[in-house]
Amino acid sequence: MALTPEQIEDRLKTLEVKNTRLERLLHSGRGLTDITQSLATDLVDLGEVPYAKMYQTSTQTLTTATWTTITMDAFSTDTMGGGVDLANEHIIVRRTGIYLLMGLVHFAADTTGPRFSGISVNSTGTPTFRFSGFDPADEALRVSAIVPAVLSAGDTIELMGRHVKGSNLDTVVTDTADTSWLAALLVANN
């Protein structure tokens, strides 16, 4: 279907406005961040929902009675447009909205003390959302965290673990499906 002259003119004006904005962003040094966020927005518009999942591939020792960020060194999915940040062990939210945050800490077998998992928003040092497990029998314990959260573009999330054993306790890595992991899924735009 051919465009009318008015439609062509409207589209040219829209492109000029977007081009001017892009030039300002590039000159201000904020262009790459905003371009990444725009790409994430475009993926949603094309039907690709922002989702990221990262996981642990090496055992980690956790000190007793201390919230510790769980080391994440691999990822399986990232449709957020650069949401997985392995260097800092967190996921960066690229689009403001309501997210379903999910994580699991896989603790080694031990009969002493409860285990906890949590998700921290913007690296607060203690989890924003906390979940506890029961006192375990002499078997590995997985403590999961699932919570909806309203997040803004640029917010970060990280998985944290804690135990009260009285001495150090390791996480468990059996394979990529049986390990500690963290995921974020956009469920609604805000």
Domain count, the chain: 2
CATH number, domain at 106? 2.60.120.40
Find the DSSP H helices in the chain: 5-28, 31-45
30 and 93 co-located in one domain: no
Helix (H) and strand (E) counts in the chain: 2, 13
Tens digit of pLDDT at every position of the chain (190 positions):
576 778 777 777 776 776 666 666 665 555 555 555 555 555 445 557 899 999 999 999 999 999 999 999 999 999 988 899 999 999 999 999 999 999 999 999 888 888 999 999 999 888 989 888 776 676 778 888 889 999 999 999 999 999 998 899 999 998 877 899 999 999 988 7
CA atoms of 167 and 63, how far apart (whole Å): 7
Neighbours of 40 (CB within 10 A): 23
Q: What is the 3-state secondary structure (H, E, C) of 104-141?
A: EEEECCCCCCCEEEEEEECCCCCCCEEEECCCCCCCCE
138 and 128 co-located in one domain: yes
Q: What is the H or E stretch that residue 163 is in?
A: strand 156-163
